[in-house]
Amino acid sequence: MTLDHRTIRTAFGRFATGVTVVTCRNDDGEPHGATVNAFTAVSLDPALCQVTLTRRSKACRFLDDAPFAVNVLAHDQLDTAMTFAGRPQGEAPRWAEGPTAPVLLGTAATISCRPWRTYDGGDHLIVIGEVAGIEISDADPLLFFGGAFRSLAEPDNHWHICADSLDTGWFGSSFTPLRRTAASTTKG
């Protein structure tokens, strides 16, 4: 079976992702970033995460055994995503110094990393970082699905028609579940 790039891209695009900007320092020590939606958690112990960047990205060269940060963009940071995808929009992004590398302000979360490993990923590089610091906000994330940026929608609340309702349960509010007593827990 022969697969063309458009079919592969379309199939991969059916998986909704968050949008991140991977930030680091360039060869002159200045902040640099690249928009990336290929991000995932790898391990809790040690704490590791992974980003996958196209080999054509300048950031690939700057990430060679260098610290970086994964900035999970907030729903209102579409201009930031476009800017770091090479299509500057609106105001310039706001920077701050992070624990390992420059970070962006106003994000949903920021994960600062030390270099761990880099692997060959075909036309991409798979960069794994050891988490050295985390910042989390209450902002909803910016999403990417089907070739377009999206935002979270309020979830439908189907509990009202479900027997497992958090409010009414199987039996409504008049049901009192059995309680374990000291006598029922003694072995005899």
Beta-bridge partners for 3: none
Which whole-number Å values give the CA distances from 80 to 15, 88, 95, 138, 165, in the listed order?
A: 22, 8, 11, 18, 40
23 neighbors 66 (Cβ within 8 angstroms):
no
Poorest-confidence range of 43-52, 79-88, 147-156?
Answer: 147-156
Which pLDDT belongs to residue 161?
Answer: 56
CA distance linking residue 19 with residue 40, whole number of Å = 11
Fold of 5-151: Pnp Oxidase; Chain A (2.30.110)
CA distance linking residue 103 with residue 171, whole number of Å = 51
**pTM for the whole structure:** 0.79
Q: In this predicted model, which residue has the larger pLDDT, 160 or 18?
A: 18
Q: Could you report the per-residue pLDDT of 85-138, keeping only the tens digit for each? A: 999 988 899 999 999 999 999 999 999 999 999 999 999 999 999 999 999 999
Q: Could you report the per-residue pLDDT of 143-184, keeping only the tens digit for each? A: 998 888 888 887 666 555 555 555 555 555 555 556 555 554
82 neighbors 94 (Cβ within 8 angstroms):
no
